[in-house]
Amino acid sequence: MAVTNGQVGEHAFLRGMYADGYYPDHVVDRGRVILLGLCERIEAERPADLAALYVLTHAATEEFNALQDAFWEADSDIETVAREEIAEDFWFVASAYGFADADVEELIAPRDW
């Protein structure tokens, strides 16, 4: 399923990570896929409230948790800059789908990065 939200289609996910050579593009690409997958799930499932949205964002956060090993294998890490970039994009997604009142910390609550 392709994402139909115009804001999402125009958004450069994880832009700051792509701009920083510390983060290998091939691993950042996997993070971008996670975020686009989250958008697809939101469009398919149409969460009715924040609780339903958080279920979806928590699943995507768990995928980022699993991606940590790929960063380590590439001599990189999900550290402060990456954490902020990822969190901002989770909030962007929530906002783009009408959940501007989402708590960014709750969006990514199960993170271990």
- Give me the mean pLDDT over the 7-19 stretch: 97
Burial of 5 (0-12, 13-18, 19+ CB in 10 A): middle
Q: What is the Cα–Cα distance from 48 to 20, expressed in whole angstroms?
A: 37
pLDDT class of 2 with cuts at 50, 70, 90? confident
Per DSSP, the three-state class of 11 is: coil
pLDDT digits (tens, 9 = 90+) for 22-35: 999 999 999 999 99
pLDDT, one tens digit per residue, over 50-109 is: 999 999 999 999 999 999 999 999 999 999 999 999 999 999 999 999 999 999 999 999
Query: Helix H segments across the chain?
Result: 6-10, 15-19, 25-45, 50-73, 80-96, 104-107
What is the average per-residue pLDDT within 42-57? 98
Taking a C-beta distance cutoff of 8 angstroms, is the pair 96, 8 a contact? yes
pTM for the model stands at 0.96
Assess whether pLDDT exceeds 90 at residue 110. Answer: yes
State yes or no: pLDDT of 1 exceeds 80.
no
